């Protein structure tokens, strides 16, 4: 088997007295997409930052991070030379226009001028930003800024792309465009590390995910397999809890798992027929039955209520 492109062992990170990451270990295969899921404050971003040296791990000698053969705490420049980073917050240079943003960034990699110009044209084209070449950053929409940051991260033809919530806050069209681009990059052999809140995003592009909560790994695996293994296939969702009274008496707790939040209640089961029978006593407008998704798994694993860090 080929050696993993990233190998993380027993990594922790403490801020003052908060443990942001606790004893995390994982391997990432080349040309795959590896996703981190978890609520805000779960330690996803901190883990990403430790991969390219923006954050330093605790206990240097008892843990290890190996990224393409380099340790980010020792030689982050070698890692960054081979990687592209899309941070959570937009950090484009507001004082210069779209083209200059990319051109000045190409100087950081010392890409020869002619080559840089060619790559910039290609990337603007790839990210569908060619007609915004001369625009100032302020004039761009949120989706354009994100696409430009991804273009910037691709300037050095990276082997590894680190994406911290690449589509948070964007409309569905832009999200789908970005997912499409990321899938294309993956096909070309780029390894991707991604954090997200969107279960759909993880499902669409990730081969392997980790669900994190309070700095710890809760689950790891292929998203589809995790669904099969850790959550019931179907969900009966009732928007108004009070309406659920009629089915409570006939409930068989062995066949169904019940979860309540606020005004809503859900019943999860592998048996679709059983859920349909349960729902017989309800008006058709009061419930719906659907397949379970990664979000249900996520909520099951990390809890439905907010914790103090969120």
Binding site for other proteins (CB under 8 A): 13, 15, 46, 49, 52-56, 66, 69-71, 74-78, 80-82, 84-85, 87, 89-96, 100, 104-105, 107-110, 152-153
Token pair for 23 = 């004893």
Sheet holding 18-28, edge to edge: 18-28, 6-15, 64-67
Query: Comparing C-alpha atoms, which of 83, 201, 95, 205 is closest to residue 152?
Result: 83
Residues whose CB is less than 8 angstroms from the CB of residue 280 and which lie 6 or more positions away in sequence, other chains included:
none
Give 105 or 267: the residue with its C-beta nearer to other proteins: 105
Between 20 and 209, name the residue whose CB sits nearer to other proteins. Answer: 20
For residue 61, what is the DSSP state?
G
Residue 53 Cβ vs other proteins, minimum distance, rounded to whole Å:
8
Residue 196, beta-bridge partner list: 37
Q: What is the rounded CA–CA span in Å between residue 289 and residue 110?
A: 56
Rounded to the nearest whole angstrom, what is the least distance from the CB of residue 205 to other proteins in the complex?
Answer: 21
Residue number, 146 or 300, with CB nearest to other proteins = 146
Q: Minimal distance in Å, beta carbon 139 to other proteins?
A: 15
Q: Which is nearer to other proteins, 134 or 229 (CB)?
A: 134
Task: Give the rounded distance of the alpha carbon of 272 from its chain centre.
Answer: 30
CB 82, min distance to other proteins, A: 8
CB closer to other proteins, 102 vs 205: 102
Q: Are 163 and 144 in contact (CB under 8 A)?
A: no
- Least distance to other proteins, CB of residue 107, Å: 4
Distance of CA 243 to the CA centre of its chain: 36
Residue 117 beta carbon to other proteins: minimum distance, rounded to whole angstroms: 15
Least gap, CB of 202 to other proteins (angstroms): 23
Q: What is the DSSP string of 163-214?
A: EESTTTT--HHHHHHHHHHHHHHHHTT-EEEEEES-HHHHHHH-SEEEEEET
Which CB, 31 or 82, lies closer to other proteins?
Answer: 82
| Cβ–Cβ under 8 Å, residues 171 and 16 | no
| Of residues 97 and 237, the one with the C-beta less far from other proteins | 97
How far from 12 is each of 57, 68, 148, 187, CA to CA, in Å? 6, 20, 32, 32
């Amino acid at each position: 088997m080929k050696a993993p492109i990233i190998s993380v062992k027993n990594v922790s990170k403490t801020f003052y007295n908060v443990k942001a990451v606790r004893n995390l270990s994982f391997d990432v295969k080349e040309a795959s997409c590896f996703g981190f899921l978890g609520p805000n404050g779960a330690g996803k971003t901190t883990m990403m930052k430790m991969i390219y040296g923006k954050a330093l791990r605790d206990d240097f000698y008892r843990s290890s991070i190996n990224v393409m053969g380099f340790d980010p705490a020792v030689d982050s420049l070698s890692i960054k030379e081979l990687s592209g980073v899309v941070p959570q917050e937009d950090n484009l240079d507001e004082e210069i226009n779209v083209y200059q943003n990319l051109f000045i960034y190409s100087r950081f990699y010392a890409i020869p001028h002619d080559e840089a110009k060619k790559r910039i044209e290609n990337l603007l084209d790839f990210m569908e930003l060619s007609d915004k070449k001369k625009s100032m950053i302020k004039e761009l929409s949120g989706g354009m800024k994100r696409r430009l940051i991804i273009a910037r991260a691709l300037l050095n033809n990276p082997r590894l792309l680190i994406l911290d919530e690449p589509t948070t806050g964007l409309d569905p069209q832009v999200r789908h465009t970005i997912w499409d681009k990321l899938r294309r990059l993956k096909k070309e052999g780029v390894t991707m590390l991604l954090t997200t809140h969107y279960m759909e995003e993880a499902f669409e592009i990730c081969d392997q995910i980790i669900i994190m909560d309070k700095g710890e790994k809760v689950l790891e695996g292929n998203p589809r397999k995790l669904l099969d293994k850790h959550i019931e296939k179907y969900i009966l969702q009732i928007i108004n809890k009070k309406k659920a009274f009629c089915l409570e008496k006939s409930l068989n707790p062995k066949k169904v798992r019940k979860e309540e939040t606020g005004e809503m209640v859900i019943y999860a089961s592998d048996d679709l027929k059983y859920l349909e029978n349960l729902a017989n006593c309800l008006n058709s407008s009061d419930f719906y039955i659907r397949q379970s998704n990664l979000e249900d798994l996520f909520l099951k694993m990390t809890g439905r209520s907010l914790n103090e860090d969120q």
